[in-house]
Amino acid sequence: MNPLSLGVIGLSPGNGHPYSWSAIFNGYDPVYMENCGFPVIPRYLEKQHFPEDTIAEAKVTHVWAQSESIAAHVARAALVPNVVASFTDMIGEVDGVLLARDDAETHLKFAAPFLEAGIPVYIDKPLALTVAEAKQIFAMQRYPGQIFSCSALRYAKEFQLSEIQSEQIGRLRQIHATVPKDWGKYAIHVIEPLLLIAHDRGAVERTQCWHSDETTTLAVKYRGGFDALISTLGSTYAPLALRVLGESGWIDLFFEDTYAAFKSALHQFVQGIIHRDERTSSTFILEVIGLIERGRKL
């Protein structure tokens, strides 16, 4: 089977995903990638082995960004052969789209033409900032699973408890989660893996939120006897971490491997295209966005 053809849409402030995601499929040019504006990206790319560590089932073949110069640089850095003048020019040319912008307010505008055309779209996290906005986007799906959206950290091996670890801590009681930067864009990185660990949590009973300068903390009490404490810490130097507490013990989980998490998420998107099935549940995504909405400072 020939590789699928993917298009990538970028670039939102502070988000280098058009570079890194494209490189995970295509490989990269070290000279151009060094000047991508996101120093962490070339550092984790240089630890991989190309082409062995790419995703073989697809290639990024088209790129669009808000300026031709940005799109051209992404293309050179990540070996993308085609730069398009309008993002809708990809329709009819690609099998799927990577909407690699994390400014949620633009997602509907960029995703709508592709959804209407029946093209699968990976929408960068968060899909939306309110449940109402998310439902509006989901309503445009032509089939279940056409929209793929998540934090790649839901696939991070570092955030998955082994059977032995689960037995050691006993019945799950609490998870305390921390992540740097702002609530709207980054809380999702710990919310998704937290919910996947706490799979018997039950419904939300009540929440309480605190805002202080650039930090946000959301406390969530579930009917199943589980509590979550989720904090985004702004510019404070803090780990991206989960402290998982049970009746018999606790364990700290720290996120480390960005490339592996991104690759796992992108591979799931591609497999969803190939098998035409739903890889990220809309019900789960709406639950995640519901917590994001409860923690927003309006």
> How confident is the model at residue 213, as a pLDDT?
86
> How confident is the model at residue 298, as a pLDDT?
64
CB atoms within 10 A of CB 175: 25
Domains of the chain with CATH codes: 4-153+259-280 (3.40.50.720), 157-256 (3.30.360.10)
The position carrying tokens 């190309």 is: 50
Whether omega for the bond prior to residue 51 falls within 30 degrees of 0, making it cis, is yes
Closest CA to 240 of 81, 40, 67: 40
Closest CA to 291 of 118, 146, 175, 173: 175
Identity of the residue numbered 191: I
Per-residue pLDDT tens digits for 204-245 = 999 999 999 899 999 999 998 999 999 999 998 889 999 999
> How confident is the model at residue 210, as a pLDDT?
95
3-state secondary structure of 113: helix
pLDDT more than 70, % of the chain: 100
Per-residue pLDDT tens digits for 246-290 = 999 999 999 999 999 999 999 999 999 999 999 999 999 999 999
Per-residue pLDDT tens digits for 45-86 = 999 999 999 999 999 999 999 999 999 999 999 999 999 999
- Confidence category of residue 1, pLDDT binned at 50, 70, 90: confident
